[in-house]
Chain A
Amino acid sequence: QVQLVESGGGVVQPGRSLRLSCAASGFTFSHFGLHWVRQAPGKGLEWVAVTWYDGSNTSYAESVQGRFIISRHNSENTLSLQMNSLRTEDTAVYYCARGKYSNFVYYFDSWGQGTLVTVSS
């Protein structure tokens, strides 16, 4: 079955960098858009970034544009999120999610259990 497992979270100081990874299995990795979605403490879900199929096209939320870089390694079934210039407001649980189209509607049909990133001095 589809499995997504995040890793790489931890405590980091403001202004520093951190790299998250997501290991995927159970599906043809290169056939799907892959996303990062986050949830800050006490808040709702916020979409962060997407990388499409071969990784040549990416898109970001305005809140992370220019600081975060999403990438994928189709040969290894791995998704990454390089987070630079971290801010306290980036503190959140970060989920990787698979996107899928059906009936012309796009949705996140599989999610990992998340990895916690805490930005604090």
Chain B
Amino acid sequence: DIQMTQSPSSLSASVGDGVTITCRASQSISTYLNWYQHKPGKAPKLLIYAASSFQRGVPSRFSGSGSGTDFTLTISSLQPEDFATYYCQQSYSTPWTFGQGTKVEIK
């Protein structure tokens, strides 16, 4: 199975800050990498697919980049509704696997 490792596991930031979350795959996965946002008690929400493609309706402050083994999710200016846990997920091979999550908290 492909292991996905995110860093940091959690971070504290203020509204308006820029934030970067990193995801590393245990082997090359090309750009078969997706990002999700998850809030407690809610359905997870797809943000980015294929490493850098926006899901319809996702604000432009979210962006993704990377290929091979190293990927990043960037939030350019945190908004109150962005405080959540973010997961990367590889779709290069089954079983599909997720990172352990990065919790973005209010400072």
Contacts and interface: CB of A to CB of B under 8 A. Distances in A.
B42 A45 contact: no
A37 B42 CA distance: 14
B68 to A, nearest CB: 15
B98 interface: yes
Q: How would you classify the secondary structure of chain B's contact residues: helix, strand, loop or mixed?
A: loop
B43 A113 contact: yes
Contacts of B100: 43-44
Interface of B: 31-32, 34, 36, 38, 41-46, 49-50, 53, 55, 87, 89, 91, 94-101
B50 A103 contact: yes
Contacts of B44: 37, 45, 95, 97, 108, 111
B91 A113 contact: no
Nearest to A105: B50
A114 B44 CA distance: 10
Given A108-B44, A113-B42, A114-B43, A46 B98 contact: yes
25 contacts: A37-B44, A44-B87, A44-B100, A44-B101, A45-B44, A45-B87, A47-B95, A47-B97, A47-B98, A61-B95, A102-B50, A102-B53, A103-B49, A103-B50, A103-B53, A105-B50, A106-B32, A107-B50, A108-B44, A109-B49, A110-B46, A111-B43, A111-B44, A113-B41, A113-B42
